[in-house]
Amino acid sequence: MLNFDFYNPTQIVFGKDRIADLSKLVPTDAKVLILVGGASAEKTGTLAEVRQALGARPHSTFSGIEPNPSFETAMQAVQQVRADGFDFLLAVGGGSVIDCAKFIAAAVLFEGDAWDILLKGGRNIKKALPFGTVLTLPATGSEMNNGSVITRRDIGAKLPFRSPHLFPKFSVLDPTKTYTLPPQQLANGVVDAFVHTVEQYLTYPVNSPVQDRFAEGLLQTLIEIGPRLLTDTEADIEPNYDDRANLMWTATLALNGLIGAGVPQDWATHMIGHELTALHNIDHARTLAIVLPAMLHERRVQKQGKLLQYGERVWGIRSGSEDERITAAIEKTRDFFERMGIATRLGAYGLGQEAIDVVVRQLEAHGMTRLSEHGDVTPQVSRRVLEAAL
């Protein structure tokens, strides 16, 4: 096992009817800016619940945070916070709204050009406004970590940052809030959590049986509940609470630092995926589904030991040569994404060979030239991966 630090002070408030707990969770003297995406938080009644729980605390709502939240939108919110003196942020939504809240929380108190936060990956953040979250879309894990990704549309850049100052004070996870999600967003959530887990698990062995088994447990759970979540939304019945609860908790645990503590991490698939989203506005989870199978094929030698373990423990693959078992494990992964209704080829998104040069150039421009757990995914390797994903 590798040396590690683990620190995660976010309070999780999980279950049915927990939004009312905001009355205790938010400081009584707070002046709260509620952050939301589109109109759904208002339409579903979630915002009304939130406002009721806030009681007499002064609050206002900033809406319009887009999927893959933009620097430009975040800076509008920063201006409003400064102008009106809000001292607590409450993100109500999914990973995009929460990621945006993190940037706003840091930018409001940042001295200098806030774009520098992204150029330095957050290492220059010295303080941040306190914030909490009400999660409505399980996927990114942002509700229980200190990382975020912000997009600048004018230059087609999607850049990650993190800081120990950016853990949510609390996150309310009410699985019933997912009942109104369309199947496509549930599928995105399943695939996003799946690939988060894989990025921390499918590297090389360092004798970390607990981290391995925790990761495998998350993957097995997603494989079990994923297809049920799709049929669930088709039927004219109350969604299955436990499946929603298990998706929500799984997605949170997939990226709260736990399964990545003491093990190597990859993240090459994510970095390439971010460029695809920035350039072509493809859903984050879908970019991961495109890149991951091709990446695993490309790096089957470096990842051999873990790929065999993954095939056996997660997919029950026990027969065939090592090479055959690895191929089977990767293709099972691809099939799972496809069964979730998520295409795994660039062509399915209307992209061909001509798109690849631009992605590779952007990776170079953003310094993403030595990716993966070994630092051996160069732009040339990324190009081969994208070509294999055509």
- Closest C-alpha to 238, from 312, 178, 190, 166: 178
Asked if 202 is part of the footprint of a second copy (rule: CB under 8 A), the reply reads: no
Burial 101-111 (b: 16+ CB within 10 A, else e): bbbbbbbbebe
Give Dmax over CA atoms of the chain in angstroms: 66
Q: Is 3 in the site for a second copy (CB under 8 A)?
A: yes
**Window 89 to 118, contacts with a second copy (CB under 8 A):** none
What string marks each residue from 335 to 374 as x (binds a second copy by CB under 8 A) or -? ----------------------------------------
Least distance from a second copy to the Cβ atom of residue 218, Å? 6
Minimal distance in Å, beta carbon 9 to a second copy?
4
**3-class secondary structure, 159:** strand
Closest listed residue to residue 33, CA positions, set 119, 96, 100: 100
Q: Are residues 330 and 307 in contact, defined by beta-carbon separation less than 8 angstroms? A: yes
72, two tokens: 């430009």
Closest CA to 232 of 300, 158, 179, 154: 179
According to CB under 8 A, which residues from 30 to 59 bind a second copy? Answer: none
For a second copy, what does the binding mask look like between residues 232 and 261, x meaning CB under 8 A?
----------x--xx--xx--x----x--x
Binding segment for a second copy (CB under 8 A), chosen from 130-138, 210-218, 352-360, 364-372, is 210-218
What does the block give as tokens for 173? 């996870």
**Taking CB under 8 A as the rule, does residue 123 contact a second copy?**
no
Reduce the DSSP state of residue 270 to 3 states and report it.
helix
Decide if residue 15 touches a second copy (CB under 8 A): yes
6 vs 58 by CB, closer to a second copy: 6
Nearer to a second copy among residue 2 and residue 39 (C-beta): 2
Tell which residue, 280, 267, 266, has the closest CA to residue 356: 280
Cα(174)–Cα(73) distance, integer angstroms: 27
- The answer to whether 265 contacts a second copy (rule: CB under 8 A) is no
Q: Which of 39, 48, 155, 210 binds a second copy (CB under 8 A)?
A: 210
Tokens of 154: 């004018």
213 binds a second copy (CB under 8 A): yes
Residues forming contacts to a second copy in the complex (CB under 8 A) are: 1-16, 18, 207-210, 212-214, 216-218, 220-221, 224-225, 242, 245-246, 249-250, 253, 258, 261-262
